[in-house]
Structure 1
Amino acid sequence: MATGSYFPPSGATPGLSPRTSSPVSSPLSPPLQQRSNALSNRLTSVLSVSYADSDIRDALETLSLRGIHNTAEVRRQLRLDVQKEVVDCNAEIVRDFGNVAEQLQRIGTVISSLKETCDEMRKHIVLARQDTNPVLEEATALMSQKQEAETKQHLLDAFAKHFIVSDDELLVLTSVEEPIDDDFFDVLARVKQVHRDCEALLGAENERLGLELMEKSSRSLNSAYQKLYRWIQKEFKSLNLEDPRISSTIRRALRVLAERPSLFHSCLDFFAEARDYVLSDAFHYALTDAVTGGENAVKPIEFSAHDPLRYIGDMLAWVHSTTVSEREALETLFVADGDELARGIQAGLSSEPWSRIDENEEVTFDGEKALSDLVNRDLIGVARSLRQRVELVIQGHDDPVTCYKVINLLSFYQTTFSKLMGPRSNLAELLQILEKFTLSHFEAIMREDVRSLSTDHSALALSKDLSAPQFLLDALEVLTSLMKTHEASIGTSEGQENKFTPVLHAALDPFLNLAKSCADDLPTPTARAIYLTNIHITTRSSIIPYPFASATHLTPLSTALSTLRVDLLEIQHRYLLDTSGLQVLLTALQPFSQALATELKHEIATIATLPAFQPDALIAISQQLDDFLPSALMDATENLKRVQSAAFVKSVTDEAVEAFCRDFEFVEGMIIGADEAGDVGKKGGGDEDEDEEEEGSKGEEEQEGHDLRRLFPRTTGEIRVLLS
């Protein structure tokens, strides 16, 4: 690295620039100008260098380590030292490369020797291969034959182990003397697997072996299933369901037997028949034989046969308890192992396609349904005995309340068995049939009572107060007992059919219709209306507290009462008009109306000429009205005193009084109109001559004698006050 350029040339004055070194102030010469530019460039380059640069920092660090001071001598010596170090380093590198070259020469010599050795060995190997090649080929062929033989041996061993069942295993599977245990089921599972795997052999070239093995396995399986079927039947004979723990072996046997649907269902039929006999015998024993045992002795159910409700209730309670016990005992067979039974039956239908009813129908096993069906079949004999006894008891009793209580009892157990066994179970349908039978007997009792009443004239005789007849009161008393019984029973929730409606039709409608027919014997319309009102009010008051009864019959009764109320209102209105004498005036005023009174006043004037409005007649009517008014309201109420509802009588009387006041107002208006029309006629005549004055004065006196308002002075306000 040249360093001389960093210092001023010799002979220059230190501290002065080249431009001031010359005393001459003329422009610089070209050489001096070039030197000045070079120095400026060098300074610019040095100043532009960043001392944070890594190279400069390393160089400065090296100089710092050498302890060099910045002098001209040191700088020259430093350059020489650096050049000397570079030369020494290059010399050392050359020496190292010389050593490497010597090593490479030695390696080349060794490689050449190895190559010669390898060529020699390759020649020996080729010669050896030529000598041993036939032996190797023969050995390879022998090894292939050995491997093929070993493979065949393995296949034969595996085939024999998998497809061949030993005689001892077949003995366990088919011999009757051998027990049904885990060994039996293990061998059966293996034979079934062999039978399934034989299908693969049928697809091979030699089908004879597959056919023979399949035939042999089929015979073994059939014998095994027959052995299992007979064993299950034997176990079912001694099976005690009172201890509802069925052994795991029987459960496993049933799951396996399900693969033969025909044998499985036959076994279930045998079991159902055996249980039917056992349960029928137990039911007969509970009915007739007492269980002795000291203080807790249970009396036979037949001891309470005189009380149909208790007798039927005890029988149904026994059947319900037995059904629950039977279901719990058999639940482990069809619910806990339902999935395995379903798979077994599905597999059996594949092996027995003739067992299908419909080929396109997918058969699935429902454990709950199978359990309910089996319990139903177990209780067929019990259900038959129950039906006979219930029908016999019902036919021997004629108390309608008892019959209806039995209906509610049967309905309760019908709901219970529907939830327990399903709505289509035998017991649920049987109780529904018995419920209909009892209801039919109940309706027959009601019809017979109505028939006997219709021929008993003394029972149909009406009392003088026109109250409801005694037979209707008795029927309503019975109906009240029935409604209380129904209210206390279940099955009256909203959204369900009203089961009490047929009872109302049987226990109420015939008696009410018979009571209505008795009204034809009454002599007057008033008596008939009062009598019909009484029986409808009595009937309505009996059913109003019970919504299930009023829901169907309250509307017809209210409609009939509304019609009767209109009739009684007309009767009461006419009574007021006739008693007060106002009817005579209304009859006379029928040709007139308010419109006529305002438009044809000259016609209104003719009212004074009517017979009813003559002074004597009008005075008599006015006097009759005055006699009527003091006790009119009391007399009107007395007219309907036989109606057995004071509120009803008051309502009808008040409305009749209002109608009477309107009629009186009309009569009053017509009388005032007639007087006003007469006054207009008198003023319009004039004084024609003096000769007529005398006659006019006589006419005024006569007209004053015919003043209607003076003869009939009562006003509508007075009438309303007196009748309020």
Structure 2
Amino acid sequence: MSFLEFQLGDAFTDSGFLPEPASALPLDSVPLRESHKGFQVPVPDLLESREVETNTLQERMKLYVDSSMRGLELRSQPASNRDHDRSAVPGATSHLADREQSLKQMVEVSGNYKPESSDSVISRKLSRILNEYDGRTYQKDQDLRRSFLALEAHRKVLAFNESVLVQPSVMGSLARQSLKSNLEHLLLQNNLTFLENIRPVVNKIQRLSEPIERTLTIGNRVCEKRPTPIPDEVWCRIKDKQEQLQTLKMQKTVLSAVRDSLTLSQIEDHAIRNAEIDTEFLLVVNRIMIIKERATYLLTLPSAEAGKALLKHVNSQLEIANKRIYNYLVDFLYDLQSAYRTFGERSFTSNDKTFVVFRKCLVYLSSDLPYFSEFLKRVVKMRSQAALDNFLSQFDVESSSESKPIILSAHDPIRYLGDVLAYVHSLIVNEADFVNSMFDFQTFDEEEDSPQSIINKNQKFLSELNLKALNDIMVPLENSIRIRLEQIIRFEDDILTNFDIFDLLKLYEMIFTKYGIFEDSTLIRNLNALENVSSNKIGSTLTDTLSTIDTRQEIGADLLPPSWLAEYLTTLCGVFARYEKSSYPEDAKQIVSVEFLNETTGRLVNDKLEEFLHKNFPDMKRNPSEKENFLVAQINCFDNVISKLKPFKSTVFDNDGNILIKVENQMQSSIKALTEFESRLLFQKTGLELYFNLFNMIFPVESVQDELDYDMYLSTLENPIMNLTKIRESVEKPVSDLMPAALDEFQKNKVFHIMSPRIGEQITNTCLRQLLRFYQVFRQVLLHLYPDSQEEVLTVLKFTGDEAAMLFGLSD
């Protein structure tokens, strides 16, 4: 196995060591011991084996080995030599003894030896090589062990089959030769690689060797000669040249720095034209922007040609970069749209590298308005078309979709409008989420690698870009949304339903503006217009109802308010109650406004009720009885209106409370008129009417405080009606008959038909108190004026004040 002569162990164990073939030792260089000089290996007699027929090479080799082992004879050696050999290698005595003993046994039993298999022979040889120790072959054994270890470690690389490699047959021999050839080829390849690596260094050294040799030769010649003293002029010229050289070096350094700061390298120019758009590409674009900023300074030079040429070149590079950025953004947008359609969700996160590049590209593209505007148009068109298709699909009756909540709820106006607005809200939320994730630059800061000029110039525009994009996306939907809402609102006549529609529109108006829809956008203006339609329909429905009331309806004998008044007030109070429950009372004030109250409440009291009462009591001015009925019916109507509207005095009528106050004042006027009418009627029945008028003409009866005021009526003695006889004839019998039955008389008149017991009691008590007051004053004045006829006066007015109060049912 001659291939083991290569130092394979070192070649594989140390990567920095290049193995080379070891020179084979000549046999004559190895000294032989005396004990080995006479040793001869007997050659087996191959003629003996001719009688045995062999068919294969392996059988012939086995036969040769068997013959050799049988013919092996070991010459006897002197014991001293053997002892000397054993003492030459320390620690190897036992091994050599065993080896000699085994050889002797092999010679002695050579006649009876049975051949072993080839694998056993090779295994025994390898075991001897790897395990036994011999001082003469120690180094070779070590090298052999390292070689085997290297082969074992690199068996996968060399791809050899050890079972074939160790065979003593021809196949094994060929395998070993092939392994040797592969190892030599690998060794040559490694050496060639090393030489190729050092070739540039060697070439450079060879190229520089000749100038260096010339320089050394000149230096040696200069050093050998004795230089003459150099004149001062020469030194000055040398110094000047050195200064000029330093100046030129500095100028070169400055110009090189200017050139590097105002131009792109070849790698950067290649990146602008061909490289993938990523962070490195944007850094190059950022450098171009910086160069453009610096190039503007060159325009201030006396000659601006350099600045113009540089700006022209930089603008052309920016045009290329912006066009590539535009194409990248469009591709990114279409890829994103495809991901939405396929997976229904975004394919990136907020800190995704691709998304960060996209946002930076938008910042850079914002400096080029044509490209930037075109990209925004593409975004708006794509998103608005998808949103419009989704919105219209909700009303597609021919669609195969089973769930159509908007269509199924069309019979309920509030639910239908709520479903439409809720779906619009979902579209706005979806688009707001999209534009905020893509175009929200409010958190943009200077740490991003962008020129400061772009940040300062476009910061406000970029910060509002998401809201502008959202409103532009919703523009194509505005008309469709308005049509779907308006077709329900314009044909809805129910007042409370219109109020609910108004609140619903206000709610979604607030929600839409919260998510970024501009207040001056067409969508919000459409909602405001529909709100006005709803609010106007509430007022117009009430006014139409009021206008269609038939005031020719006859009033009943009980003088109660007509049925249409109760129905109208019920509807009106329902609107007021809905107003109080409104979630947006400030906005609902545009419905229940001053004009609304004047049209619905003021017209009711001032026009319809007056018209109704005058048509039912046309002769009230000529007929006292009809006037009494008119006043009672008027009080009942006013009381009904006030009782219905008074709970809303602090809420509905707080804007303009004069309407309700005016109604209350009108009712008080009617009560006062009825009280005067009933009081006058009562005085007529008692016969005291003339005296009551006479006394009030002289001095108001209500103003009498004590007896001194009685003298104010002394002038009445001149009047004929103040004669006691006349008084007896006019007053005695009516007073005696009426005063005990005064309460019964009031219950029989029209005051009993007043709907409010409080008002009826108020009128009755007022009339009776007025009669009682005058009766007491009249009785005391007569006693004062006729002190000699007091008995006669007491006979005519026989009831004292307390007795009269008791008869009238007055407590005080």
Match for residue 380 of structure 1 among 461, 475, 496:
475
1:306 aligns with 411
In the alignment, what sits opposite 1:500? 592
Structure 1 equivalent of residue 765 of structure 2: 654
SS in 2 for 1:287: coil
Q: CA deviation at 1:271?
A: 2.5
Asked whether the equivalents of residues 597 and 604 of structure 1 are also in contact (C-alpha less than 8 Å), the reply is: no
Match of 2:79 in 1: none
Residues 1:430 and 2:526 are matched in the alignment: yes
Alignment of 1:618-697 (within 5 A): 618-629=731-742, 631-632=744-745, 634-635=747-748, 639-676=750-787
Map of 1:3 onto structure 2? none
The residue number in structure 1 matching 2:571 is 478
Deviation at 1:466, TM superposition (A): 2.6
Q: 1:621 Cα deviation (Å)?
A: 2.3
What residue is the counterpart of 1:534 in the other structure?
636
CA-to-aligned-CA distance 1:140-190 (integer Å, 9 cap, x gap): 334334333433443343344332324553454356xx5432233122111
Quote the offset at 1:518 in angstroms: 0.7
Tell me which amino acid in the other structure corresponds to 2:305: R
Equivalent runs, 1:107-256 vs 2, <5 Å: 131=230, 133-134=232-233, 136-166=235-265, 169-174=268-273, 179-204=276-301, 207-240=304-337, 243=345, 247-256=355-364
Closer, same or farther in 2 for the Cα pair 1:368/1:341, shift >3 Å? farther
Residues 646, 603 of structure 1: alpha-carbon distance in 2 compared, 3 angstrom cutoff: closer
SS at match of 1:641: helix
CA distance in 2, matches of 1:581, 1:373: 89
Q: Which amino acid aligns with 2:420?
A: M
2: distance between equivalents of 1:183 and 1:364? 23
Label 1:279 to 1:198 Cα distance change in 2 as closer, same or farther (>3 A): same
Question: In the alignment, which residue of structure 1 is the partner of 2:800?
Answer: 715
Residues 444 and 205 (structure 1 numbering): CA distance in 2 closer, same or farther, change over 3 Å? Answer: closer
For the residue of structure 1 that corresponds to 2:394, the secondary structure is helix
Would the alpha carbon gap of residues 560 and 418 (structure 1) be closer, same or farther in structure 2, given more than 3 Å must change?
farther
Rate the CA distance shift 1:264–1:648 in 2: closer, same or farther, 3 A. farther
Number of matched residues?
Answer: 549
Report the CA distance between 1:198 and its aligned residue.
1.9
Paired residue type of 1:396: F
Is 1:407 the counterpart of 2:502? The answer is yes
Q: Give yes or no for contact 1:259–1:346 (8 Å, CA) kept in 2.
A: no
* Matching residue's letter, 2:614: D
Deviation at 1:452, TM superposition (A): 2.5
Relative to structure 1, the CA distance from residue 639 to residue 345 in structure 2 (aligned partners, 3 Å threshold; closer, same or farther) is farther
Farther-moved stretch of structure 1 (142-151 vs 185-194): 142-151
Match of 1:453 in 2: 549
Name the residue aligned to 1:45: none
Query: Using a 3 Å threshold, how does the CA distance of structure 1 residues 470 and 574 change in structure 2: closer, same or farther?
Result: same
C-alpha contact 1:338 1:367 (8 A) present in aligned 2: no
Unaligned runs of 5+ in 2: 1-226, 618-625, 702-707
**Counterpart position of 1:42:** none
Residue number among 568, 571, 577 corresponding to 2:674 in the alignment: 568
Deviates more, 1:471-480 or 1:591-600: 591-600
Whole-Å separation in 2 of the counterparts to 1:341 and 1:370: 20
Q: Provide the residue aligned with 1:515 in structure 2.
A: 609
Partners of 1:326 and 1:711 in 2: how far apart?
98
Contact 1:447 1:506 (C-alpha < 8 Å) held by counterparts: yes
Choose 145-154 or 215-224, whichever is displaced more.
Answer: 145-154
Where does 1:593-612 land on structure 2 (aligned, <5 Å)? 593=699, 598=711, 601=714, 604=717, 606-607=719-720
Taking structure 2 as the reference length, the TM-score comes to 0.60
The alpha carbon displacement at 1:250 in A equals 2.4
Which one is further off, 606-615 or 441-450?
Answer: 606-615
- The question of whether the paired residues in 2 share the 8 Å contact of 1:259 and 1:348 is answered with yes
Aligned mates of 2:451, 2:672 — CA distance in 1: 76
Deviation at 1:195, TM superposition (A): 1.7
- SS of the aligned residue for 1:644 comes to coil
- 8 A Cα contact 1:198 1:214, kept in partner: yes
What is the percentage of aligned positions where both structures have the same residue?
17
Q: In the alignment, residue 618 of structure 1 is paired with which amino acid?
A: V
Which one of 635, 638, 651 corresponds to residue 548 of structure 1?
651
Summarize deviations over 1:659-680 as a string: whole Å, max 9, x none.
222222333234324423768x
Is the CA contact 2:632–2:754 (under 8 Å) kept in the aligned structure 1? yes
**TM-aligned CA deviation for residue 409 of structure 1:** 1.4
Q: SS state of the match for residue 379, structure 1?
A: helix
Counterpart code for 1:440? N
Q: Deviation at 1:200?
A: 3.2
Bigger Cα displacement from structure 2, 377-386 vs 397-406: 377-386
Separation of aligned partners in 2, 1:368 and 1:508: 52
Contact 2:446–2:455 (CA under 8 A) maintained in structure 1: no
CA offsets per residue over residues 506-554 of structure 1, 9 Å max, x none?
5544444423421112322322222232233222222333332242453
Question: Which segment drifts farther, 432-441 or 482-491?
Answer: 482-491
Partner of 1:684: none
| Residue type at the aligned position of 1:442 | I
Q: 1:386 is paired with a residue of what secondary structure?
A: helix
CA distance in structure 2 between the partners assigned to 1:142 and 1:341 by the alignment: 49
* Compared CA separation, residues 646 and 129, structure 1 to 2 (3 A): farther
Considering Cα pairs closer than 8 Å and 6+ residues apart, tell me whether 1 or 2 has the greater RCO: 1
2:66 counterpart residue number? none
| 3-state SS of 1:548 partner | coil
What displacement does 1:479 show? 2.5
In structure 2, what is the equivalent of residue 319 of structure 1? 424
**Unaligned residue ranges in structure 1 (runs of 5+):** 1-127, 352-362, 680-703
Equivalent-residue separation in structure 1 for 2:451 and 2:428 (angstroms): 26
Q: Does the 8 Å contact 1:199/1:210 carry over to 2? A: yes
| TM-score for the superposition, normalised by structure 1 | 0.67
Q: Any conservation in 1 of the 2:679–2:767 contact (CA below 8 Å)?
A: yes
CA contact (8 A) 2:291 2:314 kept: yes
Distance 1:602 1:142 in 2: 147
Q: Does 1:391 align with 2:499?
A: no
Q: Match of 1:187, as an amino acid? A: V
Amino acid at match of 2:613: A
Pairing partner for 1:365 from 432, 457, 460: 460
Are 1:416 and 2:515 an aligned pair? no
Aligned residue number for residue 211 of structure 2 = none
In structure 2, the residue corresponding to 1:483 is in which secondary structure? helix
- Alpha carbons 1:173, 1:188 under 8 Å: kept: yes
Letter in 2 for 1:631: D
Contact 1:237 1:274 survives alignment (8 Å): no
Alpha-carbon RMSD across the aligned residues, in angstroms, is 3.8
What is the aligned partner in structure 2 of residue 613 from structure 1? 726
